[in-house]
A = this chain, B = another copy of it.
């Protein structure tokens, strides 16, 4: 039998979403439920895929099936396509598996031509009806030309404007039937002028061209961009729904509207929506007329309203979720044109899910599945007070680099930020760009604003890690660092002036706007408790400071999966000692410098163990290449040389000698410990002493330090560094008369380590997948440089996702799988986790669950997101 590509609504149901798209499946389901739906047919997503495979052609078999379906709906609706007495007019709409509102194209009133228009008018003597017919006709020409023939809508609007000017009228409504008729003629003439052929009068030609146009629109730039942002695969394709038209603009006994079964902003349980009498759907959206609240329909059309309320309730009960519906009333008859699970704010998502549980509609586990993990982000950051925001006007807009709202006084250096914050002032740090030197200042700021740098600049990455609001890359700012002011939108902002930032939109405000803190109790707390109950995989956090740790614990982190100790080498005297260590030319000098750093590092670990209480912490040893700790500019080198008691020439030589062609693949990670075992020794001492001290104060914490060696690619390399760690640690523990245990493990972030994980596991007591580096090396491109070519990869659809945001499951994921099974073969109880930035990406978290990892680790602000994703994965697995 030939493959079926076209389905009547009466042949489908809600489970056929993959084939029919969301809109098509739900229309079919409403038909099945006996609801008033204009009955049409759906050309399946498979037909779209075939269209692209066949070189953008619709195959003969599919054409024949469309033809047959058309005949069927002619029968069902008692109208005929192209018929002059009882013509069938249809809408042609896209409908993908996932909702992509406004991304693809729609053609309405299809089937219209001169004869059809004349026939329609002949059947109804009302002059208003004649105007309606020609209005519909001109709208069709306009839409078809735009969607199918790529003649911009705007040009047609210009023709309308001209006519209005000519007639001396203001609104479309003031144009009469003859004007509309004239417009149809003008539009057709313009079409011919543009395309050199007559506007197609044959309804079947109109239909096929429109179906092709919808297929084509799957591949338009805004659809591609939307898919990439929402991680919708290109390969899915879109379905096309062909449905008989019903007209809300037929007369005053007609209308159209949209409604939600609950409030999509708050989640409150009450029908929520709006409608317009004598209007088409686009009029509601366009906002020329102000729609009425849905409740008013009860007065306008009590019977229709009652019917709609009943349908809405039935749909919510049927789908067991809040519904978003479109309807049209044609001459007193209600037609349902769409229903779908309604999009909602994060707060509403929580409330609806919790209410549905208390209403007994869904279980707690189902509720957990109802909230998109990513959505929670909005609930975790401070937001502007909505009332205060109303009166505020942005002075600029740049990249929304790290979400949340911030309000504070402008400062220009990290040191100033620390000083002002020390006095209890809230500050916003404004910089050309940030560097590791600024971390301490960034940590005490409410928000960060930079002139240079993108979404993955230092400022952006660090701010996201800290959960601090950041707007980056605002090139409009004219910065005067030395004089401590900047110019933006013609105004001067000096140190101490108030500004506000919205890190979720990138907007910059030149005034103070009140912010409100995130509320982690209430609905959020209850919902997360359900997620936690369902979840089996642990969620740890990436935290490098005591402050991060406290924040992460508040967000529910179950330990630290990655403490990047390099951040402990910056700030104040530490960086000076670190630099002394780097320029040291003897072991003794190096050890002396390290001895200066030890107490600081030990103090950090002590405070973190205290903040964690009994939770575990994985400490990663020094990872970045040493040149990152030294300046590169001549004047900075000269200054530092004085500090270090050497000549600028000597220091410049050292800086030069540390230069690397490919620093990402250079002298870093455990390679540093191999060259300078004394660094590993110092770090072991700091971790173990801190753990011993906190254990002495709180024996019940039962601390088991986890020391992690980065960038291992060879078992002997790990063993070499591990031997330094164990000999140091064992001596300290013995000297303290303690019986504390500790573990030594490794990052798996180099392809070779993944391939040889079975060997590596003979020494490593745990693996943590460093998916940032693993992604770089598996793909062979550097995160810092990929920006130069990734856009062409998106444009050509070679990539649909950024592999640094969403784990590449088939490539990088394959290596992780190999490592997981290799590690378990050697050491069945090996502890496995992931600590790359993917640890906070829901789809990647689900992948980790599938591999049976013990935990994921992510930045503090992503902990609830990861927990929810892990809970959803666990629930899905049970089914």
Q: Which residues of A contact B (CB under 8 A)?
A: 660-667, 671, 674-675, 711, 713-714, 716-717, 720, 749-752, 755-756, 773, 776-782, 784-785, 788-789, 792-793, 796-799, 808, 810-812, 814-815
Known A-B contacts A674-B793, A716-B797, A798-B716; A815 and B784 likewise in contact (beta carbons under 8 Å): no
A361 to chain B, nearest CB (A): 43
A-B residue pairs in contact (CB < 8 Å), sample of 15: A660-B788, A662-B664, A663-B785, A665-B665, A666-B782, A666-B785, A674-B798, A711-B780, A713-B781, A713-B811, A716-B798, A717-B793, A749-B780, A751-B815, A752-B812
CA distance A796 to B722 in the complex (A): 13
A759 to chain B, nearest CB (A): 8
| B674 with A714: CB separation less than 8 A | no
CA distance A815 to B713 in the complex (A): 14
CA distance A720 to B770 in the complex (A): 30
A454 to chain B, nearest CB (A): 14
CA distance A571 to B659 in the complex (A): 30
CA distance A141 to B717 in the complex (A): 40
Known A-B contacts A674-B793, A779-B713; A788 and B756 likewise in contact (beta carbons under 8 Å): no
Partner of A671, one of B660, B665, B789: B789
Residues of B within 8 A of A788 (CB): 660, 666-667
A347 to chain B, nearest CB (A): 40
| B798 with A717: CB separation less than 8 A | yes
| A792 with B674: CB separation less than 8 A | yes
Residues of B within 8 A of A778 (CB): 713, 750-752, 755, 777
| A665 with B781: CB separation less than 8 A | yes
Residues of B within 8 A of A782 (CB): 660-662, 664-666
| B811 with A755: CB separation less than 8 A | yes
Known A-B contacts A751-B751, A751-B777; A664 and B661 likewise in contact (beta carbons under 8 Å): yes
Residues of B within 8 A of A797 (CB): 716
CA distance A662 to B782 in the complex (A): 6
Closest residue of chain B to A715 (Cβ to Cβ) is B798
CA distance A667 to B711 in the complex (A): 24
| A667 with B798: CB separation less than 8 A | no
| A752 with B780: CB separation less than 8 A | yes
| B661 with A663: CB separation less than 8 A | yes
Known A-B contacts A674-B789, A674-B793, A713-B780; A814 and B756 likewise in contact (beta carbons under 8 Å): yes
A17 to chain B, nearest CB (A): 26
Closest residue of chain B to A810 (Cβ to Cβ) is B756
Q: What are the 7 closest A-B residue pairs judged by CB atoms, nearest first?
A: A662-B782, A661-B784, A665-B782, A750-B780, A752-B811, A666-B785, A751-B751
CA distance A808 to B716 in the complex (A): 14
| B811 with A667: CB separation less than 8 A | no
Residues of B within 8 A of A666 (CB): 781-782, 785, 788
Known A-B contacts A663-B662, A716-B798; A780 and B777 likewise in contact (beta carbons under 8 Å): yes
Which one of A756, A779, A799 has the highest number of Cβ atoms from chain B below 10 Å of its Cβ? A779
Residues of B within 8 A of A751 (CB): 751, 777-778, 780, 811, 815
Residues of B within 8 A of A752 (CB): 778-780, 808, 811-812
Closest residue of chain B to A713 (Cβ to Cβ) is B779
**With A667-B789, A714-B811, A717-B793 already in contact, 15 other A-B pairs whose C-beta atoms are closer than 8 Å:** A660-B788, A661-B784, A661-B785, A662-B662, A662-B665, A665-B781, A667-B788, A675-B792, A711-B780, A714-B799, A716-B799, A717-B798, A750-B779, A752-B811, A755-B778
A425 to chain B, nearest CB (A): 36
Residues of B within 8 A of A773 (CB): 780
Residues of B within 8 A of A789 (CB): 667, 671, 674-675
CA distance A674 to B794 in the complex (A): 11
Residues of B within 8 A of A777 (CB): 751, 777-778, 780
Closest residue of chain B to A676 (Cβ to Cβ) is B792
CA distance A442 to B565 in the complex (A): 48
A28 to chain B, nearest CB (A): 34
Residues of B within 8 A of A671 (CB): 781, 789, 792
Residues of B within 8 A of A812 (CB): 752
A722 to chain B, nearest CB (A): 12
Residues of B within 8 A of A756 (CB): 810-811, 814
A761 to chain B, nearest CB (A): 15
CA distance A620 to B106 in the complex (A): 46
Which one of A749, A780, A792, A796 has the highest number of Cβ atoms from chain B below 10 Å of its Cβ? A780
CA distance A788 to B779 in the complex (A): 25
CA distance A750 to B812 in the complex (A): 12
Residues of B within 8 A of A811 (CB): 713-714, 751-752, 755-756
Which one of A773, A811, A812 has the highest number of Cβ atoms from chain B below 10 Å of its Cβ? A811
Closest residue of chain B to A793 (Cβ to Cβ) is B674
Residues of B within 8 A of A714 (CB): 798-799, 811
Residues of B within 8 A of A815 (CB): 751, 755
Residues of B within 8 A of A717 (CB): 793, 798
A293 to chain B, nearest CB (A): 49
Partner of A665, one of B660, B667, B785: B785
Residues of B within 8 A of A796 (CB): 674, 716, 720
CA distance A358 to B474 in the complex (A): 83
Known A-B contacts A674-B789, A713-B811, A751-B815; A720 and B665 likewise in contact (beta carbons under 8 Å): no
CA distance A355 to B782 in the complex (A): 57
Which one of A661, A782, A785, A799 has the highest number of Cβ atoms from chain B below 10 Å of its Cβ? A785
CA distance A111 to B661 in the complex (A): 59
CA distance A717 to B811 in the complex (A): 14
Residues of B within 8 A of A720 (CB): 796, 798
Residues of B within 8 A of A750 (CB): 778-780
Closest residue of chain B to A784 (Cβ to Cβ) is B661
Residues of B within 8 A of A667 (CB): 785, 788-789
CA distance A784 to B662 in the complex (A): 8
Partner of A755, one of B662, B713, B799, B814: B814
| B780 with A665: CB separation less than 8 A | yes
CA distance A792 to B717 in the complex (A): 11
| B785 with A660: CB separation less than 8 A | yes
A182 to chain B, nearest CB (A): 44
A681 to chain B, nearest CB (A): 15
A535 to chain B, nearest CB (A): 30
